[in-house]
Structure 1
Amino acid sequence: MAIKTNFISNGKKYYRINYDIDIDANGKRIRKQFVGKSRKEAEKKKLDYINKMNLGLKNAKNMWLAQTLKSWLFEFVKMSGNIKPTTFARYEGLYRNYIEKSSIGSMSLDKLESIQIQRYYNKLFKQGKSSNQINYVNKFLKQFLNYAVDCGYILKNPCDGKRVVIPKKELNEIVEKAVPVFTDEELSKILNSDNCKIKYIALFSLSTGMRRGEIIGLKENDIDYKTKEIHIKRTVATTTIFDNENKKSKQTIVQEPKTKNSKRTIPLPASLVGLIKDTIKIKKSEKLKAGDSYCKNNLDYLFLSEIGNLINAGNLDKTWSKFLNRLDIPHKKFHALRHTYATKQFENNIPLKTVSMLLGHSSIEITANIYTHVLKREKEKSIDILSYIKTMV
């Protein structure tokens, strides 16, 4: 039986239904058209539209994902006052690298479906992006789409629940990756090297497990010699900052620690007391040498640049690379000192929970996941109880 149609466009037959949605200021009817290959299809489109209107959903037909997400990011997230500059810079990078010119970025919100997002994630995975990186993209996109649901642009978040999965390698393809740590020989070279600022910063990380930004964010009064404690209250970061016109520039800033648990109090190792005094001597010497050009605004910070500015993370990385090269040590990121600290703690039977608290991780699971190989190695050292008992009989 032939399908009934009532409308021809570009030589093709369709069925068209008109629906009155409002009346304008002149009393004329405002109509919306629904076109399908059959009357049934056109009626379904009309019914879907009415249901959305009844649910309070807005017309998202011309709201493109990339365009709307950018507006949300710069006009809502940025202006909320609840986001760290480093986090916003990371979000902007995710938008620019993964959404702005992506295959899903040009789609309207009302057409965006889970399967399309899934295909995009699968494509990223095939291109060599890691599961972790795709997961960051998904969390970011999911956050925006929750906002879109709240605003009535879409009925459901296509990233919710089990609607999409993060592509992962098969179990037999997964290679356990050990975190980079310094050998005892390399540590000895660092410890016995000529005294300088970068050495002291490195030994601070090695002795406490503190992050780079936490160390250069330390103030002298954060160190309590009576209680033998270090109070970690802030972090210094070099990041991209967007001004009121959204022009970006690199700046070194002070902000809250990385997570809630990162704001913590840790023991002051006795071996650091003399090092701290030597660090203060270096600061005083640099201040005297720089004279009036020395910045007076940061004098309470323990580690500063030669002219009294907060230490730029990029400059510190360059100094660190030169320091390792001078000692003939293969390059490892500064963060490897923190990994070395944690590994040494586990090797000396310090409980997982204690190490997690010292490192300032947001959860004990994060610590366990990072140091899986170390914990496994330490477990293998456990004694064979039955064999032990037999030797006592």
Structure 2
Amino acid sequence: MAEDNKKKKKPRSKANGEGTIWQEKRNGKTYYRGAYVIGYDADGKPLRKLFSSYKKQDVIDKMADYKSQMNNGLIPTSDKMTLEQWFHTWLFEFRINNLKDTSFERYEGVYRNYIKGTSLGKKKLIEIRTADIQAYYNMLSEQGKSTNVIKTLNKHLKTCMNDAIKQGYIMRNYCSLVTMPKNTTNELEDDNEITFFTPEEQQQFLDSLDKHRNKALFVLALGSGLRLGELMGLKWEDIDLKNNTVSVTRAISQLSKVAKDGSRTWSILEHPPKTKSSIRTIPIPSNVSKELKRHKKQQDKEILKHGDLYQKNGLVFCTELGNYIDTRNLTRSYARALSRADIQHKKFHSMRHTYATRLFEADVPIKTVQKLMGHSDITTTMNIYTHVMPEKMTEDVQKLNRLFK
């Protein structure tokens, strides 16, 4: 008897193309239900808008009215979809094919770190207002996130919400109305902070690198100002040890590709340098050339040792088997080397700033430094100069003392 009282569902049917309608039994009466698929959640499961009535025509009318309002932009197409669900769908369905790998990686990082599982991400898309976004940004600021990080988040979220408007999910983008919070904490090292080695720290670091596998790489970084990706992309054909020059013609980026299920695979992307100005040939100190020669001899021994197992890619800096170095492992190796040298941690990029600083200290003209660094805009060079040279400028101004005897 209990089995007879259970709801009985009949096969679902279409009603004049107005979505899916099916019937159920409730209290012995026929009950009609209808649904539109209005989106998909983060797992790819469909999100549906449901309608119900004991009269089939009522369901048809409700669905027709909803569709009409939806087509005219009077209501969003989803009243249950969360921001997290939309951002995931938007990224992996709408943008995955038209974003560069590097751009997609940035957007996925924003989703993973600032949308997925967060208080803002769990809110319904249609309910998000300026106050919600503002409160979330203020919270991030209180947690120590820099204004630049929050600006980047808002930029990416604004793009996502603009497409939600195009798809009819929301009527307005409130990202444009928020006020960027000011930092309430002093971060130890902001993303844009310029840090560099003092001459004493540089010598202390170099002295500590005896027999270190990456010694030549660190020496060249300090002696050429090359970016990490440019160093990793160097091949021996780019090095002229006779004339002491290095040619920068390519760079390497390590990318993580994320699938819809969250699985991650790493790949190496070889590409032209950052800008046209980054394609350059620069002289290097003869002592740096000597270190590269020692490095080449050691690499030749490894080629003989491993034979056919060695990947002959012609890379200057590589693993013992000739493969690309994992940049994460390299930066960890660099951090450990700093620690062993008893030097406070500095970003890998600080070696590039250190190179520019030594040039300024040697009174090399700023225009020359710009070309050596591969800056497309001299303003970038000037920014480094004004950050790192206060002592030098003070010293130079003191030379005016002779005029006031």
TM-score (norm 1): 0.72
Provide the rounded CA distance (Å) in 1 between the counterparts of 2:210 and 2:188. 39
Equivalent residue, structure 1, for 2:315: 301
Gaps of 5+ in 2: 1-15, 20-55
> Secondary structure of 2:280's match?
strand
Equivalent residue, structure 2, for 1:100: 116
**What's the CA shift for 1:73?**
1.7
Equivalent residue, structure 1, for 2:161: 145
Corresponding residue to 1:218 among 204, 225, 234: 234
Equivalent residue, structure 1, for 2:202: 187
Residue-by-residue CA offset, 1:223-247 (whole Å, 9 max, x unaligned): 3579865333333344433358652
> Secondary structure of 2:233's match?
coil
> Secondary structure of 2:397's match?
coil
Q: Is the 8 A contact 1:58 1:152 kept in 2?
A: yes
Tell me the percent identity: 36
**What's the CA shift for 1:154?**
3.6
Residue-by-residue CA offset, 1:86-119 (whole Å, 9 max, x unaligned): x433432321221112222123333322222111
Q: What is the 5 A alignment of 1:298-377?
A: 298=313, 300-324=314-338, 327-350=341-364, 355-356=369-370, 358-360=372-374, 364-365=378-379, 372-377=386-391
**What's the CA shift for 1:286?**
0.8
Residue-by-residue CA offset, 1:278-332 (whole Å, 9 max, x unaligned): 3322221111112233223x2x111111111111223323433454455555554
**What's the CA shift for 1:190?**
4.3
Give yes or no for the alignment of 1:269 onto 2:300: no
TM-score (norm 2): 0.70
Residue-by-residue CA offset, 1:122-143 (whole Å, 9 max, x unaligned): 1111222222222221122122
Equivalent residue, structure 1, for 2:301: 285
Q: Is the 8 A contact 2:84 2:116 kept in 1?
A: yes
With 116-125 and 208-217 compared, the bigger mean Cα shift is at 208-217
Root mean square deviation, CA, Å: 4.0
CA gap 1:64/1:371 in 2 versus in 1, 3 angstroms: farther
How many residues are aligned here? 348
Provide the rounded CA distance (Å) in 2 between the counterparts of 1:141 and 1:76. 14
> Secondary structure of 1:240's match?
strand
With 358-367 and 134-143 compared, the bigger mean Cα shift is at 358-367
Give yes or no for the alignment of 1:126 onto 2:142: yes
Provide the rounded CA distance (Å) in 1 between the counterparts of 2:385 and 2:154. 25
CA gap 1:108/1:130 in 2 versus in 1, 3 angstroms: same
Equivalent residue, structure 1, for 2:61: 30
Provide the rounded CA distance (Å) in 1 between the counterparts of 2:389 and 2:200. 23
Q: Is the 8 A contact 2:278 2:373 kept in 1?
A: no
Return the letter of the residue paired with 2:114. Y
Q: Is the 8 A contact 1:180 1:339 kept in 2?
A: yes
Residue-by-residue CA offset, 1:200-222 (whole Å, 9 max, x unaligned): 10111101111223212211223
